[in-house]
Structures are given as C-alpha cells and as structure tokens.
Chains A and B, each alone.
Chain A
C-alpha cells in the first residue's frame, strides 16, 4: 500500500492534509525498478492552484507515456507545513511515491507568474537541493524552468540548470535520451548541460555570460565555452492534432481553483494587442481540428466525472469552427449533465443565444475587456473593440434579459493621459444609459449593474510595449483615484461598481518581468528574510523587498520607470521566439502614432513567426 512521507500527527495538524498525500484518480504510479528516469514536475504555489494548471497535466501525461520515465508532482507546502518540515528537517517529497525530490533525476518547475519566485527557492530549500545552481553536484537533480516567465529567465537564472524555452511537447524526449546517454558514459553534470545546450529550446544560463555597460544596460551575451550558441530558439508544437493531451486528467480530492475540464482549442492569437505577452509568445497561431476536440471532450468527460467543461484559448471567437464545437458540446453536455463554462466571446446574436442556453441569465453577467476607456487609447494598444460594439452588444444582452455587465480595463498604459482615464468612467456611464434607453421602464426588473475593474499595466518582454516606461507607484494611485472620482461623477454612478488591484505587487512584478541577472541575489535575500507566497495578498511583505533592493544597491526604477532606447539590448534578447525585434519595434512606433494593425488571420503583418511553418493561417 502507498505510504505517506508525513506522519499521522503532522497530517492531523496541518490544514488540508489531502494536499500532501497524492493517490488521486488518474495519478500515475510506476515501479521504481522498471524505470530509468524520475522526473518531478513542480508548480511553485499551493496544491489547489497548481492542480488547476493545464500545462503540467499535458507534460505529466506525456512523460508518463514514456516507458522509461516516471513523472510525479510537487507543489509548495503551505506555510503551516513549511514550518514543520524545517523544524523537523523533513525533505520535500513527490506526491506519487512520497520519496524525497533530492533523489530524482529532474525537477521541472513551471514559471507562470513572476510573484512565485520566492516559492521556487522554498521548494529547492525544502527539497534540500542547493539553491544556487553552481553549488549543485552530480547527485542533485537537474533543475529545469519552463513556462511564460522562462521567456525572461534572467532574474532567476542563477537558480536553474536549464530553462526550456517553448512548448514542452517538442524536445523533452531528446533531452531525456541525452541524459540516459550521459549516464551510460559515466555521468558528469557539466557534460550533460553542455551537450543539452546545443539543442533548440535549451538554455543553460551557466554557459552564457552577460556583460553590462557602465549604466547596467546590457553590453553583450558571450559563450563561456566554445560551441555554445548565444541564441536560444523557442520550440513550437507544429501539429496540435496529434500532440499529447491529458484525456485522463488527474482528479484532485480537494477542490482545485479550476474544478473543471479544460479543453484547449488553439494556441496563439491573431489579434496582436500590444500589451499582451501571450499573444506574441505563442505565435504562430495553431488550431485543433473540431473533430479532435469533440473526441477529447467526450473522453475527458467520461474519464473525469467533472461537472463542468471550459474552453481554453487566447481568443476563442477567432476559432474558425467555434459555432460547430459549441453546438455539439451543448447537446453532448446536456445529455451528460455537464455545464459549459463559456470563454469570453464576442457578443453577438449567436453568443447571446448560446449563453442563454448554458447559463442562468438572472445570475450571469456579460463581460467586455475594452482594456482602455477611449478609442484613441484602444488604437494605441491595438485592441480592436469599438465603443459601438460594446454598446450594441450590451443592447442585445439587455433585450435578452441580462442586466449585469463587467468591464475590464488597464491603467497606466503607454501614452495614457487623464482624458483616457476619465473615458473609462464615461464608457461605463454609456453602458448604463444604453440600458435605460433600450428597456422601457416596465421591462426593467432590476437596476442595471456595471462592474468596472482596473489592473495596472506592466510592460512585458517580447511585446511592442517592452520599450515602455512603467508608471510609478504614485502615478498608479493617482490614476486609480481619478478613475474612482470620475465614476462617482457620473449620472448613473450608483449602478457602477469599481474594483482595482493592489499597487505594490505591480511594481515588483514589473521589476521581475524586465529584470536581469543582478536580481537573483535580491530574490535570494528577500526569501531569506521571510518573503514567500508573494502572489498571496496576505503573505506579500513589500518592506522585505524594499530592504532587499536597498541592501543590494539596486534601484527598482531602473527596471520600471526608466526610459529605454530603441537600440537597447534587453536581458531576454538572446531568446528567439520567431516574432522579430524589428516587428515589435514597428509596432511600438505605430502605437505612438495611434495606428492600428490588422488581425493576422485577415492580413499577415510579417511578424516573423511563420518561419516555424506551423498553423494554416500563417500561410494564407
């Protein structure tokens, strides 16, 4: 029978002990004697968050389909268990075997957001693996990072042996084969890393040196060993129809944040919103055939028992066979008593009809993400959603019985003026007015309810806005205040609710997003002083971070508000994502001229991603 790494007494003490026992339905157990490679996948946050992530489920299914590999999972222990493990010197363990992670061959850590960086150090330290890659020996696991934050891995470069740049489905098999080969020949960590670095998508930070200018901007990247390339090319899965998909997803015992089936319908996005990193990183746009998706949906519903299915993509309205897929799912899910959680769709007669079928109109709301209040600003960010579309969509929805509208905006976008901020309030007011003009008094059952939410814009690598200055903390607060007072000045202000996100975290996120290697020491110091679970408001301690930056003589403003020249070399420039820096530059200049760029399913804008030769839309 399976064992537990933690004693009965500990499991009875900690909150939600089911986070640590493994054994979930569809989790995979193998016989240690029958396998060559032990791989542990880590999401450096609490179990319920980590178990909601599709990427790990995909790679888990893929790795475990290899006969010679056993892939297991680990998540960040919650602070209650963290303390117990430190006090009792208990090594962090993988869920499936409950064996210490330090005995594994690989520890793969997914990097989904910047604010998880201290949790990476927690996982390493609790695993009793040296935190700094330079201190690791042949006996320690190879620590690999992947996921969106791996596209600027530099702030955490010194903690990782390898970063895998791109989609995991492509090159892991070759990497494992190389590892086995090295093992056979008498293993040395250096030799394996050197040989791995020659593969596409594999970045070994210890083999590339970064040289700085006097002002700490980057001078150049140089190879530390002959034969090491100073460009790392992103890996792309070219055919989504026969790539690995977790049709037998692991079903957590405790409720995960996403307690549902995720059906990934496509990768990439044709819209080219200039603030959006995912929109550039996941190019070229690739779709899964509708028949493949129907089959996946059926299998996953049967294999999971979930009560809800969710369609996942960056822009579902652009999926060519969306109508066919949704109509099929409505029928099939109705029969199987499964709810469909719709992605945010362009509001039109079809989507409202579908929404009416799958949701309770009285409870559900309509969502728009105009991202900016004024048309001028929406042109700057290339968000192709017009005021007419929002008002017409709202009008149709009000006629259909909806009375709740959610609007998402960003504050602090490049070239933003006070008028653009005030326009957020005015747009909310126009939606409210639309309600009263659309519906005669006797048809209004309730007051219209509009919720406006703002988040602070953070410039990200590999976007046209990578050159932008981030606004300061004070500016952010002023902008949120102006939004609030402008909303309160509207005629229908009582129907408009305003939410905004915290500012301190946004500044730090901005630092790490465009950070360089000098930040590793800051992250280490902050962690040693108690920073952990920074993505959680209750645990985020800004003062610890301020001190860590101070102690290292590093000014956060260098990374955030500083003006970047067009010819500056960025810390992430050694990565080739297909989309060229020239293209991003063109887009940055067009943004300053308030000029828009077309949806690339309609017209190719020459971003460069078509060199992957993937996805039928890149060649139209």
Chain B
C-alpha cells in the first residue's frame, strides 16, 4: 500500500532497553499512541465514534528482547516542527523507551510493515575466540536444514535461505542479518540454537535487534530509516 498524502508520514525509529523490554508489542503500541497524543502533534485520525491514530508498526518484537532499531509510521494531518520532533517525543517517553530519529518519508514509500525484508540482530557471547572457524564453516554452507520447536510446533527450515550475512565484531559480539519479511521471518534465537547444535561452545548471553531493512529496486538492503529525510 502506498501512502496517498504528500510528505505526510513520519517514520520513528526507537530503542527499547532495561525493564521495559518485558512490555509486550501491543502494550508498546498503546504506549506510543498515548505518547503521540500527549505530545500534541497534529496526527491524522480515522473517522467515526472512536477515532484512532493512523499508526503502523514495522515488526513486532518478542517480550524480553531489547532493540536499537524498531520503527513505526505515523500519518500526519500537518507536519510538526521536524527539527525538534525527536526531543518533543522523547519528553513523552519513559526510561528505556527512546526515539532515536524521525524520517519524513518520501512520497512513494510503502509502509513499514509490508516493506520489511531483513533484520540485523546483535548477539553477545561470553567468548567467541575458539569458535571462529566453526562459525565461518556454519555460515558458508549452501543449505542447513534445521528442525526446531516453537510454541509446541515442530518447524523445519533451510536456515541458509533466511540468513543473509554475518559479521564477527569482536570476541564477544556478532551481527547477523536474517529474513524478517512477513513470509519468512526468522526468529533471532533460532540462529544461536542452530549454532549450538552445530557445535559452537560459546554461550550466547543475550541478543538484541539492531536494525530493520527494506530492499531497493535492485534488491539491496536499505535501513528503514533511510527512506526519506532523517531528523535526529
């Protein structure tokens, strides 16, 4: 779905860390609805007896998971002071929920939810130094059929189809880009589960979402943030 109004959608990138990671996705949506209403910006509403904000979130995040890069799109009636919008919104947020930047979306931008193609996750380990070869071998495979259980259901996937890139940052951190499209979203913890099954000895302490991506016409990944003019 493309946006009709001209330059009237703001995409907010937010972080979530600390105790608030235990707040579920629906409640985070409710939190931002109220924060937007408090901020007094001129957001667009639906018609009818109980008007709602025209708000859409790019990708739900599991309870208990931190994020540095999640997004929601908000349709506006008129544009706020974009230079101060991040500051103004943060005045309505709480510790652990933080707006990072706001993007005034280009006119033809598809909304976040349907355009998400990939996600970066940042994994923290106790020590990766002894597993570097094994990790390289794991990610170099053409296929890796993996069977795992989520919500009492057995799932089978070729993980190599859904893992796009990986990068060892240092002895303790690794970044992995995975499929996050509505058709083939790969949950972040499946990657570490598979690595452990493959023989990795390092222990994953925690992971967090780092960023979300869409794809351009050539299929290259572009951060959701970069689909318009960015205000920090």
B and A form one assembly: yes
Whose C-beta in chain A lies nearest to the C-beta of B43? Answer: A337
Taking the closest CB of chain A, its distance from the CB of B22, in whole angstroms, is: 4
Taking the closest CB of chain B, its distance from the CB of A60, in whole angstroms, is: 17
Taking the closest CB of chain B, its distance from the CB of A29, in whole angstroms, is: 9
The total of chain B residues at the interface (CB under 8 A) is 28
Contacts of B38 in A (CB 8 A): 302-305
**Within residues 119 to 177 of chain B, which ones have a CB less than 8 A from any CB in chain A?**
none
Q: Is the CB of A25 within 8 A of B95?
A: no
Contacts of A24 in B (CB 8 A): 94
Q: Is the CB of B96 within 8 A of A23?
A: yes
Q: Is the CB of B37 within 8 A of A305?
A: yes
User: Of the 9-residue stretches A1-9, A184-192, A525-533, which lies at the interface with chain B?
Assistant: A1-9
Taking the closest CB of chain A, its distance from the CB of B26, in whole angstroms, is: 9
Number of A-B contacts (CB under 8 A): 78
Tell whether A21 pairs with B34 under 8 Å between CB atoms, given A1-B95, A12-B63, A360-B49: no
Taking the closest CB of chain B, its distance from the CB of A135, in whole angstroms, is: 34
Q: Is the CB of A17 within 8 A of B22?
A: yes
State the CA gap A253–B19 with chains docked (Å): 12
Q: Is the CB of A21 within 8 A of B19?
A: yes
Whose C-beta in chain B lies nearest to the C-beta of A29? Answer: B95
Contact of B34 among A8, A25, A360 (CB under 8 A): A25
Q: Is the CB of B95 within 8 A of A18?
A: no
Q: Is the CB of B92 within 8 A of A18?
A: no
1/0 contact string of B77-98 vs chain A (CB within 8 Å): 0000000000000001111100
**Within residues 17 to 39 of chain A, which ones have a CB less than 8 A from any CB in chain B?**
17-18, 21-25
The verdict on A307 contacting chain B, using a C-beta distance below 8 Å, is yes
The verdict on B50 contacting chain A, using a C-beta distance below 8 Å, is yes
Contacts of A337 in B (CB 8 A): 37, 45, 51
Q: Is the CB of A254 within 8 A of B23?
A: yes
State the CA gap A302–B36 with chains docked (Å): 11
Contacts of B184 in A (CB 8 A): none
Tell whether A359 pairs with B27 under 8 Å between CB atoms, given A2-B95, A21-B20, A23-B95: no
**Within residues 296 to 345 of chain A, which ones have a CB less than 8 A from any CB in chain B?**
302-307, 336-337, 339
Q: Is the CB of A23 within 8 A of B20?
A: yes
Taking the closest CB of chain A, its distance from the CB of B179, in whole angstroms, is: 25
State the CA gap A89–B31 with chains docked (Å): 33
State the CA gap A303–B33 with chains docked (Å): 13
State the CA gap A339–B94 with chains docked (Å): 25
Q: Is the CB of A359 within 8 A of B49?
A: yes
**Within residues 34 to 50 of chain B, which ones have a CB less than 8 A from any CB in chain A?**
34-38, 40, 45, 49-50
Q: Is the CB of B19 within 8 A of A4?
A: yes
State the CA gap A305–B43 with chains docked (Å): 13
1/0 contact string of A529-571 vs chain B (CB within 8 Å): 0000000000000000000000000000000000000000000
State the CA gap A253–B36 with chains docked (Å): 15
Tell whether A2 pairs with B50 under 8 Å between CB atoms, given A23-B94, A25-B34, A305-B34: no
Tell whether A18 pairs with B64 under 8 Å between CB atoms, given A1-B96, A303-B38, A304-B38: no
The verdict on A255 contacting chain B, using a C-beta distance below 8 Å, is yes
Contacts of B22 in A (CB 8 A): 4, 11-12, 17-18, 21
Contact of B30 among A3, A255, A303, A304 (CB under 8 A): A255
Among all A-B residue pairs, the 6 with the closest Cβ atoms: A305-B34, A305-B37, A17-B22, A21-B19, A305-B38, A253-B23
A23-B94, A307-B33 known, 7 other contacts, Cβ within 8 Å:
A2-B18, A4-B22, A17-B63, A18-B27, A23-B19, A25-B92, A337-B45
